[in-house]
Amino acid sequence: RHDLGTHFTVFATQNPVEQEGTYPLPEAQLDRFLLKIQVGYPSAEEEDRILAAATAAVGSEDVVQSGVRPVATPAMLDSARALGALVRVEEPVRRYVRDLIRATRGSSMVLLGAGPRAGVHLMVAARWAAVLEGRDFVTPDDVVRMLPSVIAHRLVLSPDVELDGLDGHAVLRRIATTVDVPR
């Protein structure tokens, strides 16, 4: 057994186009990922910077290393965690999270809805959304903003919904309209 340390984090990538040599993860494993975010192509200016860095580099290792710098120290991460722990989630917002999660299970658009871990992850993400907005409390807007990134990858949609061209984000937008928002 090897201790990975408190700052160990896993980031995984998924190529939605070419699936050869990769295997879909089972729902139980997908449920362990806090977020799924879409990363699009860079802007023209960003692509210019990438090409300039690659042009300046000599070998492939130089390309990988060019411009890669730490963005945080372990002490900064510890401070951020302490700050996040101070963010309040009031009972009405917790119930809202619960109701959103439960609504995914009762929807005809969803074959397999979000489990309890999804609710925990949604509250964690909403707390960090509040921190990024400079607040020490979570609002329903924080929850809704984080809902697609935290929940969409956990859902198994009904075949009819997929045939209609809807994805998890669209389904969650519809489900969210059925849940009362706390005041």
pLDDT in tens, 118-129: 999 999 999 999
Banded model confidence at residue 64, pLDDT cuts 50, 70, 90:
low
pLDDT in tens, 115-173: 999 999 999 999 999 999 999 999 999 999 999 999 999 999 999 998 999 999 999 99
pLDDT of residue 38: 81
For the chain, residues classed under CATH 1.10.8.80 are: 74-176
39 has a pLDDT exceeding 90: no
pLDDT averaged over the chain? Answer: 88
What are the angstrom distances between the C-alpha of 83 and each of 22, 33, 142, 148?
38, 22, 17, 24
Let me know how many helices (H) and strands (E) the chain has, helices first: 9, 2
Per-position DSSP letters for 131-179, written without gaps between them: HHTT-SB--HHHHHHHHHHHHGGG-EE-HHHHHTT--HHHHHHHHHTTS
| CATH code of the region 74-176 | 1.10.8.80
